[in-house]
Amino acid sequence: MVEEEEEASGRLDFGEQGAGSVEGSVEHGLLRYSPEVWNALQARAPVVALESTIISHGMPFPQNLETALQVEAIIREHGATPATIAVLDGHPHIGLTLAQLHRIASGGRRVRKTSRRDLPAVMASRADGATTVSATMLLASQAGIPFFVTGGLGGVHRGGEVSMDVSADLIELSRTPVAVVCAGAKTVLDIPRTLEVLETQGVCVAAYGADEFPAFFARSSGCRAPARVDSPAQAAALARAAWSLGPTGFCGVLIGVPIPAEHEAQGAAIERAIKAALGEAESSGVSGSDVTPFLLKRVAELTGGASLAANIMLIKHNAAIGAQIAVAYHALP
């Protein structure tokens, strides 16, 4: 890849000097790489980062492990290399082996949910950590991986104008040169204010094949997206244009991929369950950090498990689109 592209994505020097093998991984500076990811980065081949919180905290075992393996397989099928990111024994890992994926998946909530804020503490205590969007973006950027696929983005919580409950994901997008491919933000969040914060932070936001920003289980949030891309090539060109402004001139890019139209009816039913669960949370006095766990549990109950199935479908769909964008980016002249 060209020099300016490497600088914009925060790419490390992947020469042999300074690299060593640690328990089947390749150690280079702070980071440890799976052999598959290390070889892909050395070859300047397309790599797509994946978070690990969705594995440890988003689904039950063993369904979470099965889903993680299926998502990685989808990325490979579309010509890219998957790099699931996590912290193991205090060491950030870029790409996980099957045994390491099993460790994160079976560890469940014993594996610490790790945002950018939590990385120093998890590393210093030599603990296991499942990286959220913000921590995954940070580590992906340091590893020289400019594309990252996830399910949904964090945002401004309802009432956030009073509570100041704003996800670190939004701030990370403003300072880290990684393109995040997701299904938008969940309707449990305040999507209009989420988009306002992204605008204030100068983040380039685009909807994929749509005019409106998606709302996870819903194809539309009622909020017009600032930009639109209709193909992997257009999304790749958008990212290239953003990063051509230089590491201090531009940072993250957010690409919202709507739920496939054939699943829209299922998504609408889940949205109704979310609204019902929100009302129950308010009437029961559930607040603060207890809201999200309450909503996830209640929505799964109200939908008979359909919300989990839809969540899995969404991350697989995003993985296919994200891999195609990464491949298109590496094909740019």
- 282 an active-site residue? no
Say how far apart CA 178 and CA 55 lie, in whole Å.
21
Say how far apart CA 258 and CA 126 lie, in whole Å.
38
- Sign of torsion over alpha carbons 230, 233, 234, 235: positive
Helix (H) or strand (E) holding 229, with range, is: strand 227-229
CA angle 31, 36, 42 (to 5 degrees): 70
- 264 an active-site residue? no
Verify cis geometry, omega within 30 degrees of 0, for the bond prior to 46.
Answer: no
List 51, 172, 212, 271, catalytic entry: 51
List 5, 72, 172, 186, catalytic entry: 186
Residue among 209, 183, 197, 204 nearest 307 (CA)? 183
CA angle 47, 53, 54 (to 5 degrees): 80
Residue with tokens 């991929």: 257
Please give the structure tokens belonging to residue 125.
């205590």
* Active site positions, annotated: 51, 186
